[in-house]
Amino acid sequence: MLTNYDSGSYAYDSSNISGWDGLEGKTIYNGPPRGAALTNARLLIKVNTGMEEGSGYEGVQVNWGQAVKTIQDGSADAFVLPMSFPDPRVTAALASGDITIWSVSKEVFDGEAFQNVGKLPGTVPVELPLSEMGYGDGVTVVSEDDMFRGPGTVGADIVNVNMDFDLAKSLTAAFIKNIESIYHTKAPFMPGTWHGETDPAITDMCGNNPIKYHPGAVAAWEEAGYTIPDCAK
């Protein structure tokens, strides 16, 4: 049961920030006071700019419930935060002005440092056409070739290996049954959250992240016609 959030950089057009190379000396809202989102944002800024928080730029951290207010109230010049497509925080913040989002450049994306980030457990490199990001008026996405690139964070519902086989199977089967009718229609960003994906290139289930599907879940996925790689069973 996969979810995906990409880390992205963006700012109001009124900030006059030109992109990743315009973040030096700026104040950046980069997540909550602690946790994976903050760690990933700091890492993404370092890979793209070489800067550390506290020297190259000033970081601002607030709890998620204050995120939109913090974006809108001028507490930060730019934002490096997890994003879905389209992201509710971005669309809500449009009430205060147009926004530009910057992709990771192809050069950085293909470079060794970023590819190492993509090998971290729970992280995968993400590329998708700008046309699939779901934004409308007020949002500009900058990329050199109409592809958005960045690190994607993946997650899933985790259960104890001793969960009853039939219970795990029935829960997974109910999830699969409702992928299209519920999970892909509840909100505009839901189709891009990778529910129903089983490809290890997307799920990060093998390799450096050796988590496996519960046997009951495997049975449900395979009965529904999905392929589960042997390394994830």
Mean of the per-residue pLDDT values of the chain: 90
Residue 1 has pLDDT above 70, yes or no: no
List of long-range contacts for 141-145, beta carbons under 8 Å, 24+ apart: 141/100, 141/101, 141/102, 141/103, 142/19, 142/100, 142/101, 142/102, 142/103, 143/103, 144/105, 144/106, 145/106
Residue 89 has pLDDT above 60, yes or no: yes
d(CA 4, CA 83): 9
d(CA 166, CA 157): 17
pLDDT of residue 64: 92
| HSE value, Cβ hemisphere, 13 Å, CA-based, for 110 | 3
Rounded average pLDDT over 103-127: 90
Cβ–Cβ < 8 Å for 32, 62: yes
Residue 98 has pLDDT above 60, yes or no: yes
User: What 3-state DSSP class applies to 97?
Assistant: coil
Burial 79-101 (b: 16+ CB within 10 A, else e): bbbbbbbbbebbbebbeeeebbb
Q: Which H or E element spans position 116?
A: helix 112-117
Q: Which of 18, 22, 57, 17 is nearest to 41 (CA)?
A: 57
Give tens-digit pLDDT for 12-29. Answer: 999 999 999 999 999 999
User: What 3-state DSSP class applies to 185?
Assistant: coil
Looking at the whole model, is its pTM more than 0.95?
no
Going from N- to C-terminal start, the domains of the chain cover: 3-152, 165-232
- 3-152 CATH, one of 3.40.190.10, 3.40.50.1980, 3.40.710.10, 2.40.128.520: 3.40.190.10
Spatial neighbors of 168 by CB under 8 A, at least 6 apart, are 159, 214, 215, 216, 217, 220
142 vs 119, higher pLDDT: 142
d(CA 183, CA 103): 27
Rounded average pLDDT over 55-74: 94
Amino acid occupying residue 78: A
pLDDT of residue 5: 65
